[in-house]
Amino acid sequence: MKESWRWYGNLDRITLPEIAQTGATGIVTALHDIPYGEVWPVEAIRTRQGEIAAPNLGLGWNVVESLPIHEAIKTGEGNLAPLFADYRQSMANLAACGVRAICYNFMPLLDWTRTDLAARVETGGTALRFSQVHMAAFEIHMVGRDGAQDDYSATVQADAALWFENSTRSDRDILLSSIMAGLPGAFARYDIAGLRRALDGYRDIDRNALRANYARFLAEIIPAATDLGIRMCVHPDDPPRDILGLPRIVSDADDIDWIMSRQDSIANGLTLCAGSLGAHPENDVPAIARRFAERIHFAHLRNVAKEPDGSFEEAAHLAGDTDMPALISALLTEEQRRQEAGCVDCEIPFRPDHGHELLSDVGRGTHPGYPLIGRMRGLAELRGVIAGLTYARSATAAS
């Protein structure tokens, strides 16, 4: 498996020489300064590659995360032909530069969503957290979304009302900021009024309508990806449930099966995000990995600890509810299958995702969920599991 590391370019407080010291060699990044829907020029791609390939670092850009999809494509609004053409041109420019794995998502309006960016961990440090109570308070009392009450239990609603009643203006501002933090890049986040207006754009878009718009995207993009030798890999919804009344359509095995069947091509693939899928109480993440192994082109390895009311918190990489050794074993089995089938590049790139903020991470101001020490700890733990499983397989084969 190819050890990789997410880097936000000049927006990142972690430097490439520091990343090189973690042992990761693949860089997962994007051109975050280019607005959604605009073409990524070859010159800009090559400039970013040149930064990554600085002498004596041993790094290379191996996965794009993400090539964003313009919101109009998700809503199906207006003349989309120019947007699809520009997206295909960005793909062609990336392929011309030798970057052929593209992670993307189809989540409406927001990317990953958390309500607390610095939840205290018992042994020290902080973690990302999604509180069902705080999300209910946000939807019902701060945004005032019609029908929001229907999405929460009576107990959660009561606790949300109590939190809101006792909250300060600062508490509410922090909650809004936390929920907006998952949006990548340097672009403006929504305030409450802006979010209400944005939600109005989805008022008539239910699950079926969003699926239809996604199917159109796949029909427009996957044939081009096939021709270019690009592997598109959709990232699951995070969290894997409807929020803010917006449908989420990449949340479980049935959703993934629907996506893969829309365009039956190896280019139509999956980013196996253990944390996103693991936050769904009915998802068996290792089983999902085994079922869709052939289509997994990228993996995010992290773990979450779920709670009965629907809340969850980022756990240490080998803790939490997902059996990480079983998941990694499934990925190694797929790599072996690819090798036996004669694949040129059999390794599945993975990155340690959403680490705890530990030690000198605290106060450094890195992107939420993307500290240096916490992710390096996760990478070391994952590396140990991979080495142990690989040794056991070799010993078994030799006996």
* pLDDT tens, per residue, the chain with 399 residues: 999 999 999 999 999 999 999 999 999 999 999 999 999 999 999 999 999 999 999 999 999 998 999 999 999 999 999 999 999 999 999 999 999 999 999 999 888 999 999 999 988 999 999 999 999 999 999 999 999 999 999 999 999 999 999 999 999 999 999 999 877 654 567 899 999 999 999 999 999 999 999 999 999 999 999 999 999 999 999 999 999 999 999 999 999 999 999 999 999 999 999 999 999 999 999 999 999 999 999 999 999 999 999 999 999 999 999 999 999 999 999 999 999 999 888 999 999 999 999 999 999 999 999 999 999 999 999 999 999 999 999 898 888
Q: Which residues form the domain of 301?
A: 2-112+200-307+316-398
- Residue 42: name the closest of 85, 94, 77, 82 by CA: 94
**Are 165 and 210 found together in one domain?**
no
* 338 class by beta-carbon count within 10 Å (0-12 exposed, 13-18 middle, 19+ buried): middle
* 147 class by beta-carbon count within 10 Å (0-12 exposed, 13-18 middle, 19+ buried): exposed
Domain count, the chain: 2
Domain limit, last residue, from 166, 193, 220: 193
Q: Given CA atoms 335, 336, 339, 340 in this order, what sign does their dihedral have?
A: negative
How far lies 323's CA from each of 90, 124, 262, 289, 298, in Å? Answer: 37, 23, 30, 12, 18
* Owner of token pair 């893969």: 260
Active site residue 300: yes
Q: Which residue among the candidates 8, 87, 190, 370 is catalytic per the annotation? A: 370
pTM for the complete prediction?
Answer: 0.95
Q: Which residue among the candidates 70, 235, 280, 297 is catalytic per the annotation? A: 235
- Residue 212: name the closest of 170, 247, 163, 175 by CA: 247
- Residue 84: name the closest of 216, 182, 208 by CA: 216
Q: Which residue among the candidates 70, 134, 354, 356 is catalytic per the annotation? A: 354
| pLDDT at residue 188, as a whole number | 62
Helix, strand, coil abundance in the chain, percent, nearest 5: 45, 15, 40
In angstroms, the CA 51 to CA 312 distance is: 37
**Are 28 and 40 found together in one domain?**
yes
CATH number at residue 321: 3.20.20.150
Active site residue 273: yes
- CB neighbourhood size of 253 (10 A): 17
| pLDDT at residue 243, as a whole number | 92
Query: 3-state class of 83 per DSSP?
Result: helix
| pLDDT at residue 218, as a whole number | 98
Domain limit, last residue, from 193, 215, 230: 193
CA angle (38 as vertex; 65, 239 as ends), nearest 5 = 40
Active site residue 353: yes
Residue 4, φ and ψ in degrees, nearest 5: -135, 170
**Are 59 and 170 found together in one domain?**
no
**Are 347 and 206 found together in one domain?**
yes
**Are 98 and 235 found together in one domain?**
yes
Q: Which residue among the candidates 70, 134, 280, 300 is catalytic per the annotation? A: 300
CA angle (103 as vertex; 101, 108 as ends), nearest 5 = 155
Q: Which residue among the candidates 273, 297, 317, 361 is catalytic per the annotation? A: 273
How remote is the C-alpha of 107 from its chain's centroid? 10
In angstroms, the CA 129 to CA 27 distance is: 26
Q: Which residue among the candidates 116, 284, 353, 361 is catalytic per the annotation? A: 353
**Are 180 and 219 found together in one domain?**
no
| pLDDT at residue 186, as a whole number | 45
In angstroms, the CA 280 to CA 96 distance is: 38
**Are 75 and 179 found together in one domain?**
no
Contact 350, 289 (CB under 8 A): no
Domain limit, last residue, from 142, 175, 193: 193
In angstroms, the CA 327 to CA 325 distance is: 5
